[in-house]
Structure 1
Amino acid sequence: MMKLRTVVIPVAGLGTRFLPATKTMPKEMLPVVDKPLIQYAVEEAWAAGMERIVFITGRGKKILEDHFDHSPELEETLTARGKLDLLAEAKSTIPAAAGNLLFTRQNRPLGLGHAVWCGRNVVGDEPFAVILPDDLIDVADGEPVLRQMARQFEQRQSSIVAVMPVDSDQTNKYGIVAPLDKELDTRSEANRCFQVTGLVEKPLAAAAPSNLAVIGRYILTPEIFNYLERRHQGVGGEIQLTDAIAGLLEQQSVFAFRFRGIRYDCGDKVGFQMANTALSLQCPQLRERLLPFLRDLVASQG
């Protein structure tokens, strides 16, 4: 029985779509309401019972390490001023045990598959999860997506990718899965997790095997490193994780999981603003002032 205890979070990207904001600050530190993107990913990992978080970093990312560490000056100031609620917030990002957060470098930007491969020596010979922080998935008061997937892994002991339906003209932006049962109604609650026969990276609509796109949550068995080791260059000349998972199908079953939740692409400016708006409206104090403003703003736009 394989136990899932490690999550890999790739954070080596330059965040060029958010320049100049990301010139000196990592994209993962951009705030959605009152928390940086990376914190949402880490909290999801902790909620799923992960014991180790492996960050795949690059140059200029040390601020990520500092965010999950003590800030003595800040803590002393908050304590002296009696702001104990804010002190608790500041300390909430610190892991319960030392050594639970690990950092390793991706020294060349060769793609997501290469970033995951860079964590091989830390992960070792065991299954692991992958969270892409750009994909912020709001489950409101429901079960976090990685926890949903972890329960499926306990039953199936096989690699699982999170998927969601996309419009046909959007398939060329995602990895697309081919369900084993082409007649399967994947919208049914009973069919949320299903076996796949293949994955295709960014196909045009005419060549797409379905409209089910892989989103930034994965649970992978350690055999994936054998395929990433081959350094096969896929779409865009990069080492694609989707291609390696397709290769993994040669020796084991792979499942797709249609998660519960709303996904926001926070690697995109529009998706980032959508996430901020949606999550702000979930906070009663912000909603009270923000909702009338938004209504007036929309009305003024005609």
Structure 2
Amino acid sequence: MIRPRVAVIAAAGFGGRMMPVTKSISKEMLPVGNRPIVDYAVENAVKAGVEKIIFITREDDDQLRSFYSKPKQALVDGLASIGKTNIIPDIEYLHTLAEFVFVDQPHDGRYGTGLLPVIAQQALESEELFWLLAGDNAAFRPDGRELELLLQTLNEHDMHSAIACTEVPLQNVGRYGVIEYQDSNDHKIFNRIVEKPAPDQAPSNLINISSYLFHADIIDICKTIEITDNEYLLTDAFEEYSKRHPMLTWPITGSFIDVGNPKAFAEANQLVINTIRG
């Protein structure tokens, strides 16, 4: 039975489509409800048994460090002084959720998701399996159990690698990386990703949401990736990786939320707020 104890969360982007607000607020810290978007990814990871979270960050960004650290006593005292003691537990527990490690993305002229496992390698130490998650989107369930359910399915089928996905209308697949899979009894096995296909050429309507469970082999495979359009793309490692480690294709059971553009940001907030009201 597998139970990965480490998650790597990508949090080094500039949030270009959300400028100018992301000039001073990290994209991963944009609020959805009363929590930053990244906290939904953290919650999913922790409820799946993760004990250590490695953030890949920009060296000039201390917002994540501040959020997942012990609150300053002045803040706690200030809340108490105005009768808001009920709020204090909501901020005091954050730094206890996991061991948080922050790794700066190097400024060496290279860019892309294919570098993430390599950058995290030292912090991963000898971990055989790890989650790799995006910091600016998440699978939202009110109970935060999306990755826990994914893990249960992996264990049922004696697998240890996965790619999460969500359905979109077929007419919208041209915006995304679309997953081709094969059915295997009651689950789906990853074949490949087709980037931005025309609807009549799409292998499915399941799109990649950049949430994965990997064996550590992905690190060495990523070191062999060649640059594509000025980026090192993680998906370029999938052909070789999936030959070694079959990947479960997991359509999420919750709702996909992200803050990548103003429309998605507004929709994510509306969905979460409606859930809270309900």
Q: Same fold (TM over 0.5)?
A: yes
2:153 match: 152
The residue aligned with 2:213 is 219
In 2, the alpha carbon distance for the partners of 1:8 and 1:195 equals 23
User: Alpha-carbon deviations, 1:68-121, whole Å to 9, x = none?
Assistant: 112221012223444221111121312256xx1001011246111212321122
Which amino acid in 2 is paired with 1:76? D
Q: Secondary structure at the match of 2:150?
A: helix
Q: For residues 56 and 79 of structure 1, what CA distance do their matches in structure 2 show?
A: 34
Q: By how many angstroms is 1:23 displaced?
A: 0.7
Q: Which has the larger radius of gyration?
A: 1
Offset, 1:136: 3.0
Shift of 1:10: 0.4
Structure 1 residues 201, 118: CA separation in 2 closer, same or farther (over 3 Å shift)? farther
Superposition pairs for residues 204-283 of structure 1, below 5 Å?
A: 204-234=198-228, 236-283=229-276
Unaligned runs of 5+ in 1: 185-189, 288-302
Paired residues of 2:117 and 2:218 also in contact (CA < 8 A) = no
Q: Equivalent residue for 2:48? A: 48
Q: State the one-letter code of the partner of 1:178.
A: E
Letter in 1 for 2:132: V
Contact 1:196-1:254 at 8 Å conserved across structures: yes
* Contact 2:159/2:247 (<8 A) preserved: no
Following TM superposition, by how much is the alpha carbon of 1:2 offset from its aligned partner in structure 2, in angstroms? 4.5
How far apart, in 2, do the equivalents of 1:215 and 1:200 lie? Answer: 13
Deviations 1:143-180 (A, max 9, x none): 52211222223333331001222233433333222222
CA–CA distance in structure 2, aligned partners of residues 84 and 133 of structure 1: 30
Q: Please show how residues 1-302 of structure 1 align to structure 2 within 5 Å.
A: 2-70=2-70, 71-96=72-97, 100-108=99-107, 110-125=111-126, 126-141=128-143, 144-155=145-156, 156-181=158-183, 191=186, 193-234=187-228, 236-284=229-277
Question: What root-mean-square deviation, in Å, do the aligned CA atoms of Structure 1 and Structure 2 show?
Answer: 2.2
**8 Å Cα contact 2:41/2:139 also seen in 1:** no
Query: Counterparts of 1:86 and 1:243 in 2: how far apart (Å)?
Result: 45
Partner secondary structure for residue 94 of structure 1? helix
Report how many residues are paired.
273
CA displacement, residues 212-253 of structure 1 (integer Å, 9 cap, x when unaligned): 21113211111111211113223x431112221222122231
Indicate the structure with greater strand content. 2
| Higher RCO (CA-CA < 8 Å; seq separation 6+) | 2
Deviates more, 1:236-245 or 1:9-18: 236-245
Tell me the TM-score normalized by structure 1.
0.82
Q: Note the C-alpha offset of 1:206.
A: 4.9
- Aligned-residue offset at 1:202: 3.5
Aligned-residue sequence identity (percent) comes to 27
- 1:24-53: CA deviation from partner (whole Å, max 9, x where unpaired): 221111111211112222122111110100
Q: Say whether the 8 Å CA contact 1:124–1:222 is kept in structure 2.
A: no
Stretches (4+) displaced over 6 A = none
Query: How far apart, in 2, do the equivalents of 1:96 and 1:210 lie?
Result: 37
Distance verdict in 2 for CA 1:248–1:14, change over 3 Å: same
Q: 8-17 vs 156-165, which deviates more?
A: 156-165
